[in-house]
Homo-oligomer: A and B are copies of this chain.
Amino acid sequence: MSANPIVMDGWYIGAWTDEVGRTLLQRWICGRPVCFYRLSDGTANAVEDRCPHRRYPLSLGRLGDDDVITCNYHGYRIDGQGTCVGVAEQPDVPRNARVHRFPVVERHGVVWIWPGDPDRADPADVPDLPWLADEGWTHVKGMVPLKARQVLLVENLLDLTHETFLHPTSIGNAAVAATPIEVVGEGNRVSFIRHMIGIEAPPFYRSSMGVTTDIDRWQDGDFFAPGTFVLNIRIAPTGTEEPEGFHMKVFYGMTPATATETHDFFALGRDYRIEDRELSEFQLAQQLAVMQEDIDALEVQEVMVATDPGMVESSIRSDVAGIRGRRLLDKMVKAEAAARGEAPARPARPQRPAAAAGGQAPAARPEPARQA
């Protein structure tokens, strides 16, 4: 059976800026334990969380004023580069003792990390989320752990028709599923555009915006593979011209913890009533409630996928974005394997023929592995 591969060469959110400080933080990223902390000059730093001596987590050690971590098992001293600069047991420094230091970029309140080959990490590729630091915007944010493989979350977000069925009491109504999307993209981006015109406002928008008339609702999603998704929302009374209306953005940072566990980071921003703390609290509670519905569903789906990894799925037109998303991930995984000189791991999957009449797109989910 083939593996459930993870894209390693990519910028993922590792932590929020305010999570990283002088207290060592362990977080698993793409199957690797990472020790996050901040150097004295304020720079966010991330090293492999295994002491080069006996693999004890550095995050259980002590960070000194000299930015050196002392391992709490036998006292190896690791500097910000990940290099051992001394031990208590002997005056000479162990040769070649070092741990991996991950490429890190901090921008707009996000600590981005590159878990793969550092030679391929280009800070220019870090997803740009200026609204997270824009004074004209405010946002609520957090992270929720998800016991499901990352691709299921990617597909969840690239096919928002599920709002109609899974979130009918908050953000979903019949208009979402009924409104076709336009799908575009290039490079590592897949985008969809769904403009719902003259529809009834779903419960969440009625309560958080006070909208009672019919609305135009725009849902424009951008997936930047491997782990970033931004949903651009515009809500306005029907017929209102841009730039009027309420604007919201939802950022999802989908960072694999392991092959079947995902950190589900989120930030929900808005450009209206930005001083309204009560509204922020309401939106955070609402967002967490919606995400819990997704998490419950995705964790069940993980079981169903893991116990029948070979099933060929049926797809329809609204799956086009999701299928492009998973194909992009699949392609990146293959490119990484090729870069490492590995033969492709998986043969071509049997696929359903494209359905002219039924409108089915061929399914191309990577074969997931059964989990132990």
Q: Which residues of A contact B (CB under 8 A)?
A: 31, 33, 49-50, 52-57, 60, 70-76, 84, 87-90, 92-97, 155, 159, 161-162, 164-166, 174, 177-178, 180, 297, 300-301, 304-305, 307-308, 311, 313-318, 352, 355, 357-360, 372
| A304 with B357: CB separation less than 8 A | no
| B52 with A92: CB separation less than 8 A | no
**21 pairs, A vs B, C-beta closer than 8 Å:** A33-B307, A49-B304, A50-B308, A52-B313, A56-B301, A60-B297, A70-B165, A73-B165, A73-B297, A74-B159, A74-B318, A75-B177, A88-B177, A89-B316, A89-B318, A92-B358, A92-B359, A94-B316, A95-B355, A95-B357, A96-B314
Q: A88-B161, A177-B88 are in contact. Are A359 and B55 (CB under 8 A)?
A: no
CA distance A49 to B311 in the complex (A): 13
User: Which of B49, B90, B311 interacts with A55 by CB under 8 Å?
Assistant: B311
| A84 with B297: CB separation less than 8 A | no
Most buried by B among A60, A70, A73, A161: A73
| B358 with A178: CB separation less than 8 A | no
Q: A60-B300, A75-B177, A355-B95 are in contact. Are A313 and B54 (CB under 8 A)?
A: yes
Q: Which A-B residue pairs are the 4 nearest by beta carbons?
A: A95-B358, A97-B314, A88-B177, A55-B304
Copies of this chain present: 3
| A53 with B88: CB separation less than 8 A | no
Write out the residue numbers on chain B whose beta carbons fall within 8 Å of the beta carbon of A74. Answer: 159, 161-162, 165, 177, 318
Q: A73-B301, A95-B360, A304-B33 are in contact. Are A52 and B165 (CB under 8 A)?
A: no
CA distance A213 to B99 in the complex (A): 41
